Amino acid sequence: MTSLLCLTAALLSADGAADANHIAHNPVYAELRQTGLTIGEQEPFKLPAPMMDDNLTGKQQKKIMEAIGGRAVPLDRLTRKALFAPHILKRIKEVDCPKANAKAKFVNVYFVAYGDFDELAKNGKAEDDWKTIDEQDLQKRGIDEIDPKHERYGHIQRELINRVMINAAVRTYWSQTDDSLVFATQLAPQFNGDSEFPNYWQSLVRNKPTGEKHPYEHLGMYIKVTKLKDYEDGLFIEVHVVFSEPEGWFDGRNLLISKLPQVVQSEVRDARGDMKK
């Protein structure tokens, strides 16, 4: 039986020309795809290439979506124009990183949403918990130049399944072709140990941060949004993430594997709602 990867490779046009374009014009994406994230003394972990390339026909796009969804998520359900349409969460992979006392986690999610591609390219996605780090603060950390049309730095705070609070300064860079957008995000190491915009995690007890603040240094992700040819305002969205899960998050228990599907489901519905607006 033809594997998903072989089928996809056979369908892609121009040898992944769009991927090469985004790599050339998006330094954060290029680093995540070509250099990767180093966690402990492991070989760097690189994020995979997108499953959906640009310049495909509607028929080719459908073949790729059918291959990704398989029997579990047929095409007519995947492309349904509804907030509660299904998404595809591939099996969460993990790799032990004993020198870092952590595990590397890989998450890959695929879904279809409907919205205005040009509006998304112009405005991106609103982040309720995003605090922009301005030019003056960046210069204090030795970050002298950014591309304001494509790049920004911000500090975020996120709860993870009511057990962990993550604070992180991140760099986001976005690039665009006629058919797709890529939003790439990586934790900014210049803010490790920073007094104002620190990178750290802390345990949550009864929804309150408690105890020691631990350094947090490993997070990278990208989102690719591709126009669908045969679905009006249809967008194929894929999310690829790599991050470290320190041993101290859940005392070695594998809670994230069981809880993450609920988190992903909520995030997908929120994204669909934002794009619909």
The DSSP bridge pattern shows strands 151-160 and 102-114 to be unpaired
pLDDT bucket at 7, cuts 50 / 70 / 90: very low
Q: Is the pLDDT score of 113 beyond 90? A: yes
Q: Tokens for 69, please give them.
A: 């969804």
Q: Is the pLDDT score of 17 beyond 80? A: no
Mean pLDDT across the chain: 89
Q: pLDDT at position 67, please?
A: 96
Q: pLDDT at position 69, please?
A: 95
Greatest Cα pair distance in the chain = 57
Q: Is the pLDDT score of 140 beyond 70? A: yes
What does the pLDDT average to over 48-77?
A: 95
Contact 189, 141 (CB under 8 A): no
CA 164/CA 203 separation, integer angstroms: 5
Mind listing the pLDDT tens digit for each residue in 143-157?
A: 998 999 999 999 999
The number of domains in the chain is 1
C-beta pairs of 49-53 under 8 Å, 24+ apart in sequence:
49/16, 49/19, 50/18, 50/19, 50/182, 50/224, 50/226, 50/238, 50/240, 51/8, 51/110, 51/238, 52/180, 52/224, 52/226, 52/236, 52/238, 53/12, 53/13, 53/14, 53/16, 53/17, 53/18, 53/19
Phi-psi region of 121 (alpha: psi -120 to 50; beta: other; left: phi over 0): alpha
Identify the H or E element spanning 160.
strand 151-160
Q: Which of 4-13, 81-90, 161-170, 268-277 has the lowest mean pLDDT?
A: 4-13
What does the pLDDT average to over 112-119?
A: 94
Residue 71 CB burial class (10 angstroms; 0-12, 13-18, ≥19): exposed
Q: Which three-class secondary structure state does DSSP give residue 48?
A: coil
Contact 90, 109 (CB under 8 A): yes
- Amino acid identity of residue 87, one-letter, is H
208 - beta bridge partners? 205
Percent of the chain with pLDDT over 90: 74
In this predicted model, which residue has the larger pLDDT, 77 or 261?
Answer: 77
- Amino acid identity of residue 82, one-letter, is A
Q: Tokens for 245, please give them.
A: 């899960």
Range of the domain at 153: 4-276
CATH number of residue 21's parent domain? 3.30.530
pLDDT bucket at 13, cuts 50 / 70 / 90: very low
In this predicted model, which residue has the larger pLDDT, 148 or 252?
Answer: 148
Q: Tokens for 180, please give them.
A: 């797709």
CA 70/CA 52 separation, integer angstroms: 15
Mind listing the pLDDT tens digit for each residue in 186-244?
A: 999 999 999 999 999 999 998 898 889 999 999 999 999 999 999 999 999 999 999 99
Q: Tokens for 77, please give them.
A: 């359900």
Contact 192, 167 (CB under 8 A): no
Q: Is the pLDDT score of 120 beyond 50? A: yes
Q: pLDDT at position 260, please?
A: 86
215 - beta bridge partners? 200
CA 161/CA 145 separation, integer angstroms: 36
Supply φ then ψ for residue 35, to 5 degrees.
Answer: -95, -50
Q: Tokens for 244, please give them.
A: 């470290």
Q: pLDDT at position 6, please?
A: 43
